Amino acid sequence: MVATGGGGVQEARRGERGARVLTELFAPAHFVIGLPLAVGAVTSGWSGLGWGALAAVLCGGIPAMVIATGVKSGRFNNRHVTERSQRPWLVGVIVALVLAALALLAALGAPWVMVACVTIMLVTLAVVGPITLAWKISFHTAVAAGSVVMLAHLLSAVPVYVVGVLLVAAIGWSRVVIRDHTPAQVTAGAIAGGGATWVTLALML
């Protein structure tokens, strides 16, 4: 009986370690940096990769540095900003950076698909940002689900959705296991991010 109990504890600890690896590996910033690069490469090759790099730096790279600086200074409790009261200021900064990226891409004549990709980020923030003021909806699953919908629009939809649903489910599981979110919060995040992306693509592409 003791051995069984010890094994259960060890299994739970392994599960939590695995969840933490998933939650770090698939952090929102990684999707925000990687998605524009993928969209640019798929749609326009090397030139698209350049446009994607511009969007990735403004929408993902700089916010990641802001978060890292905030964690170091004590403004944020961790790199995922799990304390809901700390999120509004960060969301405002990211919105400003995404708007700057949109303005720059439009002024420089970026491909419309790249403008749509960054617009999706803005729309997702417009949906999820206000919700997080009252309820800790998951940015992890929102951004992941939105990325899946975007890639499914550009690539073969069925395989992308099959892999994507499994990935978003795994990310949601990881957020629940480490007790940063409830099942309802990760589900709502996925619906909000995926829905915002689908509507934006339907209107723009």
pLDDT 10s digit of each residue in the chain, 205 long?
444 456 677 777 888 899 999 999 999 999 999 999 999 999 999 999 999 999 999 999 999 999 999 999 999 999 888 888 898 999 999 999 999 999 999 999 999 999 999 999 999 999 999 999 899 999 999 999 999 999 999 999 999 999 999 999 999 999 999 999 999 999 999 999 999 999 999 999 9
pLDDT of residue 10: 77
Within-domain flag for 8: no
pLDDT of residue 1: 42
Within-domain flag for 107: yes
pLDDT of residue 105: 97
Within-domain flag for 52: yes
pLDDT of residue 60: 95
Within-domain flag for 68: yes
Within-domain flag for 63: yes
Closest CA to 189 of 153, 159, 148, 161: 148
Q: Which residues contact 109 (CB under 8 A, 6 or more apart)?
A: none
Within-domain flag for 2: no
Q: Report the domain count for the chain.
A: 1
What the block records as the tokens of 61 is: 């790279």
User: pTM for the whole thing?
Assistant: 0.90
Within-domain flag for 42: yes
Q: Which domain holds residue 125?
A: 17-204
Q: Which residues contact 56 (CB under 8 A, 6 or more apart)?
A: 32, 33, 34, 36, 37
Within-domain flag for 11: no
What is the rounded CA–CA span in Å between residue 140 and residue 20? 13
> 46: burial class by Cβ within 10 Å (0-12, 13-18, 19+)?
exposed
Locate tokens 């326009």: which residue? Answer: 44
pLDDT of residue 35: 97
Q: Is residue 59 within 8 Å of 101, Cβ to Cβ?
A: yes
